[in-house]
Amino acid sequence: MGIVTRPQPVKAVIGVLTAEPCLLSTVYPDLTQRLGPIDFTSELLPFASTIYYEAEMGLDIHRQFISFERLIDAGTLAEMKLFTNKVEQNFTIKKPEGDARRVNLDAGYLCLAKLVLASTKDHAHRLYLCDGIYAEITLRFYRKTFQPWEWSYPDYRLPTYIAIFNKIREIYRGQLENAEIS
């Protein structure tokens, strides 16, 4: 019989998509109120991997990644995704064809071994958590860098994104080392 142990806390990460970067200064306070101070913000990157979001969000979509100083319990990922869905709803606009998001928030976490993203959609490589939320291991840390899987989103495979996650992992590793010293 295995011995149940408490896992290390993980680093909350959110990938933000928007065609209106001016909104970010309004969105981020909502996120920090719940998740704590932001300790990493990537540059604003052009999002050209798919046109999937253009009908809803418009053209010239950008992506930015943020991570949070406060480490969280990995078991709260579904709760985090439900929260980020509410934040998205706060910024929707009414259109004749239905509500349109102005921001899309990819909630997830990073630990030393992987990047995990939450989703409301089931698929063969996703595990059900609770309350309609699934989790997928989007990247794995292997041979000193994050590596994509066959199902990883095309943009998450980009060297620019991989470099961002490697940087966030360095911050996280430092936090774990400092916690051990304290």
Q: How many CB atoms lie within 10 A of CB 151?
A: 13
For 57-76, how does the pLDDT look when each residue is reduced to its tens digit (9 = 90+)?
989 999 999 999 999 999 99
How far apart CA 155 and CA 164 sit, in angstroms, is 12
Query: CA 98, 99, 103 angle in degrees (round to 5)?
Result: 145
pLDDT at residue number 84: 98
For 73-85, how does the pLDDT look when each residue is reduced to its tens digit (9 = 90+)?
999 999 999 999 9
| Stretch 126-146: mean pLDDT | 97
| Stretch 103-120: mean pLDDT | 97
What percentage of residues in the chain have a pLDDT greater than 70? 99
- 117 pLDDT band, cuts 50/70/90, is very high
pLDDT at residue number 182: 58
| Stretch 159-164: mean pLDDT | 98
How far apart CA 71 and CA 171 sit, in angstroms, is 11
Ramachandran bin of 58, using left for φ above 0, alpha for ψ from -120 to 50, beta for the remaining angles: left
| Stretch 120-136: mean pLDDT | 95
How far apart CA 160 and CA 4 sit, in angstroms, is 37
Is the confidence at residue 181, as pLDDT, over 80?
A: no
- 103 pLDDT band, cuts 50/70/90, is very high
